[in-house]
Structure 1
């Protein structure tokens, strides 16, 4: 009972564990790959609008998988992200839209309009 109450305030302990594992994993990457994943992570944190911890962690773990495979294969970063890193990042983010705050607001708007329509006007 106390654990759920604490997690309600602080966030999921499991997500925090996954975050620490992700950060440790990322530190094992060669410098250039670590620089790339740091940049993508920062962009995702600011532009992604993901508020669900489990969705955020899945996205970051998937990104780490991608970068880790590229590093192991010796694939250059530009071969992964292409000439337009922002386009790559935005496309990558589209796979995780269910965790974005904007979707919550879209649902609120739709519900408000539905409610207004049901009130008789």
Structure 2
């Protein structure tokens, strides 16, 4: 893949670089357990094929909004994602994309990571 093709692919996955950097700065300001949870969700979301860069950027921005509000109100991570974090993230992603195939390993990793993030709070 050439640099131009790679750059086009990356911007399709994360959206415009300026919006991605702003999103990452917001996530960096979250408390550690929320930051861990968002990172896990973010990795999982990278398996979905975005419909367009703006939709994908909006998805990550909305994810940051959700966790910023939860952190501000002290909402536990498990209350955000429910008992099945994979189901939560799949439903969340469907609002922005037609989705893609997510390997079982990625599903298990997401569930394990969010359990770990939840344990950080306790």
Q: TM-score, normalised by structure 1?
A: 0.68
Show structure 2 runs of 5+ residues with no match.
102-122
Distance 2:77 2:58 in 1: 21
User: 1:39 and 2:40 equivalent?
Assistant: yes
Higher relative contact order (CA 8 A, sep 6+): 2
What does residue 117 of structure 2 align with?
none
CA separation of 1:97/1:51 partners in 2, compared to 1, >3 Å: closer, same or farther? closer
Do 1:33 and 1:71's aligned partners in 2 also have CA atoms closer than 8 Å? yes
Structure 1 unaligned segments of length 5 or more: list them: 1-6, 103-121
What is aligned with 1:84?
Answer: 84
Q: TM-score, normalised by structure 2?
A: 0.68
How well do the aligned residues superpose, as a CA RMSD in angstroms?
A: 2.3
* Larger Rg computed on CA atoms: 1
Higher helix share: 1
Contact conserved, 2:51 with 2:96, CA < 8 A, in 1?
no
1:21-32 equivalent positions in 2, closer than 5 A: 21-32=22-33
